Structure 1
Amino acid sequence: MAGISRKGWLVAAALLAIFTAILFAMGRPPICPCGTISLWHGTVQSDQNSQQISDWYSFSHIIHGFIFYGLGRWLMPRQPLWVALALAIGIEAAWEILENSPIIIDRYREVTMAFGYSGDSILNSVSDALFMIAGFLAASRMRWWMTVSIAIVFELFTLWTIRDNLTLNVLMLVSPVEAIKEWQAGS
């Protein structure tokens, strides 16, 4: 399988630049309002969650990349890999923009364990997209069963560590379960 062409990387960079500009236009903070930049922030219930380069939810974004790669190859098997990557970046960016809109921020506060969530910093949102790209590229080089195995390990690890993961995040946004919310809060 061929990798990403130079043209593909230019398209990816352009999409990331447009995405970043939209976040700036939305008024998102460039970095954590605390004024620091950290490679990792591991405390979910804190004002730095979703503000730094990586956090527990970075695992979910890698899984997004796995999913987008699989769907891209299934739905567009004859297209160059960069086309599927560009589409994946577009979907990830659209989600990040929606996730940082008042309606989703309020929804997170209402139905998930993210009680004080105020949206992501631009640094975190762009990093989330980069984690998705890393997952996409990793999946392009692994057998499908290895990709699925790693996704399951990530889901179980974050479930065990922080009582949250991609599966619960989607479930709680779409159809909240009060018992899960209480369990996530440690009740």
Structure 2
Amino acid sequence: MTASPARRPTLYGTLASAAIVALAAAILLAMGRPPICTCGTVDLWHPALDAGNSQHIADWYTPSHVIHGFLFYALGHALLRRWQLPARLTLAVAIEAGWELLENSPAVIDRYRTATMALGYTGDSVLNSVADIGWMAAGFVLAARLPVAITVALAIGFELLTLVLIRDNLTLNIVMLIAPIDAIRTWQGAL
């Protein structure tokens, strides 16, 4: 049985996205990234800001990946309106997968260690990177279904929540990677 013409873009987008995620996972493994946390466990939620951070399915940086999805949806909606939604989502998956590969390169890992509050950061496990791509896709789908005001409110809420609880968020992460500010680093280190 073949997919109806109306369902083909979704089927093709899903298959293409799955292939992109599988390729990213294979590349991460080839780069020497551990498949799961070297602690030997897999947590659905890892609440501590310790060596297990960025090693499990979700942690305090998960909201930033959901926000990536919100932003990719907004950009696709603004710039690629003629593309069907599944094609825009597939492009977002490819961009997020590319980020996960770049983020786990030695140069970016070293940058995180020297410029941000992630002093002991050693990179992500493959499981965490794949989950991060999934969280981005979830954010994209949420943004496609929710009213703009609710999506914006969620993004602001996520940013404020992580700012208050861990003194970090997507905005500070970008600032500290691009142009580190000593006062921010000192404030974050006081946690």
Determine if the TM-score, normalized by the shorter chain, exceeds 0.5: yes
Match of 2:40 in 1: 35
1:34-183 to 2 correspondences below 5 Å: 34-44=39-49, 46-183=50-187
Q: How many percent of aligned residue pairs carry the same amino acid?
A: 56
Q: Distance in 2 between matches of 1:59 and 1:154?
A: 6
In the alignment, structure 2 segments of 5+ residues that lack a partner are 1-5
- Mapped to 2, the partners of 1:124 and 1:5 lie a distance apart of 25
Provide TM-score, normalisation by structure 1: 0.96
Q: Which residue of 2 aligns with 1:15?
A: 20
- Note the C-alpha offset of 1:93: 0.7
Which secondary structure does the structure 2 equivalent of 1:78 belong to?
coil
Which digits, 9 at most, give the CA deviation of each residue in 1:109-155, with x for residues without a partner? 10111011000000000000000000000000011111111100000
Instruction: Write the letter of the residue equivalent to 1:32.
Output: C
**TM-aligned CA deviation for residue 15 of structure 1:** 1.0
Q: CA deviation at 1:24?
A: 1.0
TM superposition shift of 1:103: 0.5
Unpaired segments ≥5 residues, structure 1:
none
State the partner residue of 1:25. 30
- Between the aligned partners of 2:109 and 2:60, the Cα distance in structure 1 is 18
CA distance in 1, matches of 2:55, 2:111: 18
Task: Count residues with an aligned counterpart.
Answer: 185
Letter paired with 2:29: F
The list of structure 1 runs, each at least 4 consecutive aligned residues, that deviate by more than 3 angstroms after superposition, is: none
